[in-house]
Amino acid sequence: VVQLLKEKRDMTFNEVRLTIMIEDPREAEQKRQLGVEDDRGCTREDMAEALLD
């Protein structure tokens, strides 16, 4: 997916990471109100960090 974004959308690696890290404010508010974590069990920062590995 990262390679496709870089090629088709002409995005740099850092732009892809930033896009992944941006959280939908509505989703964040819903999680805060309900006091729940999402089903993935990881944060957007965790996902972006995984790209570096």
Q: Is the pTM above the cut of 0.85?
A: no
Mean per-residue pLDDT for 4-23?
84
Q: Which residue has the higher pLDDT, 20 or 38?
A: 20
Q: Which residue is it, tokens 């990471």?
A: 17
How far lies 10's CA from each of 1, 13, 19, 38, in Å? Answer: 13, 10, 13, 30
Look at residue 13 and tell me whether its pLDDT is greater than 70: yes
Q: How many CA atoms lie within 13 A of 19 on its CB side?
A: 11
